Structure 1
Amino acid sequence: MNYKHLLFIALISLIACCTIMFLIWLWAKKIKNAGVVDVFWALNFPVITIITFFLSDGFETRKLIICGMFLIAELRLGLHLWQRVIGHLGEEEGRYQQLRKEWGKDAERNFAVFFQFQAISNVLLAIPFFIITANSSTEIHILEYIGIGIWLIAFFGEMIADNQLAAFKKDPNNKGKVCDTGLWYYSRHPNYFFEWLTWMAYFIFALATPWGILAIISPAIILYLLLKVTGVPNNEEQNLRSKPVAYKKYQETTSAFFPWGKKGR
């Protein structure tokens, strides 16, 4: 495995992602909507995919498999976020409105730094991808097949959860209510759980490659971000502000992350 070549690919990816995020920050500043960062965070991964596919020197079949998995998952997420955010550009999401209030006159400067950190996270999270595409072995390992199986469960699980929530929100009769049907009956954030499971699939896939254990950094970072930073905490705060009584009851009976049975039943 040529580590200098891997670093070169990572550097090119970082330059591309940072440039994209700088341009998106300029746009977000103009329209006063920082929520667009979520869309392009997801869409940066297809950019990394294309760069890595053409520059890496691993086994072609393995590259096609992992690139296909990565591209499909992140394009689906990016397009889902596009519909959610771009369709309402005039109204910034509550969590970004809250950050704007907290940061006050420093908001735009802080958002500029925040956007660049998102670009850096893109490259850090792509570590499994860099490692896998450098593997020159012509044999597809059993761990890679297991990774594909887990990825399929995660991909369809996240897509179903997103579609269930979108359908719930479209119904005007559900205004002020909490979505607690389908996968949302078992977890308050099934979409986040399956997003994390997707990265676990990449990690397991990477274990068939020398130094693949380093890929654990991706699901570890994703889990930390989802549980402690931008995922569950921000989402829960926003839901408690918009529907305090209903969401508090939902919190008391439903698992925050891992799908599980109802508490107290």
Structure 2
Amino acid sequence: MWAAVMGSALAKCALADLAIQWLGWAVASALKTEKFYDLAGSGTFVLLAHLSRRWGGSGYRRQSIQTGLVTVWGLRLGLFLFLRILREGKDRRFNNVRDDPGTFFTYWTVQAVWVFVTLLPTLILNTERRDLPLGGRDYLGWAMWGLGFATEAIADQQKWDFKRDPDNNGKFIQSGLWAYSRHPNYLGEILQWGGLFLSASSVMRGAQQHLSVVSPLFVWFLLRYVSGIPILEKQALKKWGSDPAFQQYIQNTPLLWPFLG
């Protein structure tokens, strides 16, 4: 019985996810804008976390805490990215995309996949009817999330403040957390979803549910090899590649994981 409830709730979450992203695409394509793309993505995380908890019908403490952490993450990141694109006016990821409805549709559909896969451990947790006492994996996972949240939020704020300073015009940031990692915000993102998988795994049963470990692995792979670090590294090399200070920075500062080279 529990498997049928879980399957039904997961299916409804997947359909809601697609519906939101495709509606977002329709509006964004008509307006030829990407300004609410990231806001829609983070908002969908929050909505699905709460819907899955409601459709799961249990509302245990573990589920409430996990849903709350996803909500805090989504509200902070969504607002931050929305304010950033309002300030900058555009997102370079969408150059030659926002005017092509077909390609734009692909971007919004990929976002739907990103939302569902990344959130999958929390969706499984929220639709699990079995409750267990809170234990080590819960606390360790939530502590890992907290470390990641602080890392990402601090790194984002440090870069925001750096760019707002006119004296830093045309310069690259290498202070604060950016002195220990060239992409500390992405490091924080990976830690958060790794922590949420760890806490959710405390009630998982069977290999099928544990396969949701694909969530943090997917986040890591996406940021490390697809849409995050490769694009930013290429842009940075194009802008500062001939600067000796930048060459020294990339030689002495780990790409992602501090102290690992």
TM-score norm. by structure 2 comes to 0.89
For 1:209, which of 199, 203, 209 is the aligned residue?
A: 203
Give the aligned partner of residue 63 of structure 1. Answer: 63
Partners of 2:38 and 2:176 in 1: how far apart? 25
Q: Equivalent pairs: percent with the same residue?
A: 27
2:210 partner amino acid: I
For 1:219, which of 198, 201, 216 is the aligned residue?
A: 216
Partners of 2:168 and 2:162 in 1: how far apart? 7
Deviation of 1:35 (Å): 5.3
- 1:5 paired to 2:44: no
Question: Structure 2: 5+ residue runs without aligned partners?
Answer: none
Deviations 1:57-82 (A, max 9, x none): 34521111111111111211111111
Deviation of 1:52 (Å): 0.9
Give the aligned partner of residue 93 of structure 2. Answer: 95
SS in structure 1 of the partner of residue 250 of structure 2: helix
Give the aligned partner of residue 228 of structure 2. Answer: 231
Give the aligned partner of residue 73 of structure 2. Answer: 73
Report if aligned partners of 2:181, 2:258 keep a CA contact under 8 Å in 1.
Answer: yes
2:62 partner amino acid: R
* Alignment CA distance shift 1:136-1:57 (3 Å): farther
SS in structure 2 of the partner of residue 168 of structure 1: helix
TM-score norm. by structure 1 comes to 0.88
Give the aligned partner of residue 258 of structure 2. Answer: 259
- 1:241 paired to 2:238: yes
SS in structure 2 of the partner of residue 256 of structure 1: coil
1:176-187 mapped onto 2 (5 Å cutoff): 176-187=170-181
Report if aligned partners of 2:190, 2:220 keep a CA contact under 8 Å in 1.
Answer: yes
1:182-193 mapped onto 2 (5 Å cutoff): 182-193=176-187
Report if aligned partners of 1:59, 1:138 keep a CA contact under 8 Å in 2.
Answer: no
Question: Structure 1: 5+ residue runs without aligned partners?
Answer: none
Partners of 1:31 and 1:242 in 2: how far apart? 31
Q: What value does the CA root-mean-square deviation take over the aligned residues?
A: 2.2
1:38 partner amino acid: D
2:135 partner amino acid: H
Deviation of 1:11 (Å): 2.0
Superposed structure 1 runs of 4+ greater than 6 Å apart: none
- 1:141 paired to 2:138: no
SS in structure 2 of the partner of residue 207 of structure 1: helix
Deviation of 1:215 (Å): 2.7
1:77-156 mapped onto 2 (5 Å cutoff): 77-88=77-88, 91-97=89-95, 100=96, 107-133=100-126, 134-156=128-150
